[in-house]
């Protein structure tokens, strides 16, 4: 009974770790892709939108045809396209050649100094997942990749290889047992046959 409970705990822990690896690896992969018009997963690296969006959250961002007041958007910094900022639209300037969006972090006292063009906006925040961003950010580092992906994946592969080896061992053991039983039955039949022949010969004599 105790061994059965231990096996259940091991299997549960195994699948939890495996599921976590799949989720983290999936988020890292999706966040690294740059597919136009698709959802993007981005890591929030500041607390400027707290308490709405926690520091270390992952936000799911989807491009929209239009953006309005109070929409939380993610946009690229005009001076450094690698930097993304997730803030709320608090005002919109209507111009002849388009719109300029004024944004502000919920936790900030002042509005952002730069006006945002439609072209700079990656998309509107659809949802956020608190704290998962810490894992994703760590997984992007060499140490994190080894710790969260390579080592667990190696252990899982090794565990599966051992399971396969064990199952193959059981299969070969069953075959050997069946063969041994067949041989024993064949020998028993041969012995019976010889006994019958001997008895038959004695009866004749």
Q: With residue 144 as reference, give the H or E element that holds it.
A: helix 142-144
Element (H, E) at 120: none
Q: Locate tokens 């022949």: which residue?
A: 197
- pLDDT score at 81: 84
171 pLDDT band (50/70/90 cuts)?
Answer: confident
List beta partners, residue 124: 62, 73
Q: What is the pLDDT of residue 5?
A: 66
Residue 143 sits at φ, ψ, to 5 deg, of -65, -45
Q: What DSSP state is assigned to residue 108? A: -
Other beta carbons less than 10 A from residue 57's beta carbon:
24
Higher confidence at residue 88 or residue 80? Answer: 88
Pairing of strands 84-95, 121-129: unpaired
Paired tokens of 172: 């070969």
The overall average pLDDT reported for the chain is 81
- Written as six digits, the tokens of 153 are 């994946």
Cα 166 to its chain centre, rounded Å, is 27
Place of tokens 């396209």: 81
More confidently predicted of 88 and 139: 88
pLDDT score recorded for residue 124? 94
Nearest residue to 123 (alpha-carbon basis) of 65, 35, 62, 76: 62
Of all residues in the chain, the percent with pLDDT exceeding 90 is 25
CA distances from 110 to 87, 103, 125, 143, 205 (A): 12, 9, 21, 37, 121
* pLDDT number for residue 35: 55
The per-residue pLDDT for 141 is 78
Choice between 99 and 155, residue whose per-residue pLDDT is larger: 99
> Is pLDDT at 31 greater than 60 in this prediction?
no
């Amino acid at each position: 009974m105790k061994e059965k409970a231990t096996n259940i705990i091991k299997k549960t822990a195994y699948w939890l770790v495996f599921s976590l690896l799949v989720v983290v690896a999936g988020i890292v992969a999706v966040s690294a892709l740059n597919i136009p018009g698709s959802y993007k997963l981005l890591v929030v690296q500041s607390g400027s939108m707290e308490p709405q969006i926690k520091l270390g959250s992952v936000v799911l961002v989807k491009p929209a045809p239009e953006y309005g007041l109070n929409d939380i958007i993610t946009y690229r910094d005009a001076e450094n396209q690698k930097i993304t900022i997730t803030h709320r639209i608090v005002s919109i300037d209507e111009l002849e050649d388009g719109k300029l969006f004024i944004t502000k972090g919920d936790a900030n006292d002042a509005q952002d100094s730069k006006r945002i063009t439609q072209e700079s906006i990656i998309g509107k925040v659809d949802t956020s997942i608190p704290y998962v961003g810490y894992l994703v950010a760590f997984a992007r580092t060499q140490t994190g990749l080894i710790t969260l992906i390579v080592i667990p994946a190696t252990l899982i592969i090794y565990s599966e290889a051992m399971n396969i080896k064990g199952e193959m061992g059981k299969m070969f053991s069953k075959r050997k047992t069946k063969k041994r039983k067949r041989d024993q039955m064949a020998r028993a039949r041969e012995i019976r046959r010889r006994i019958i022949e001997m008895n038959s010969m004695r009866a004749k004599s």
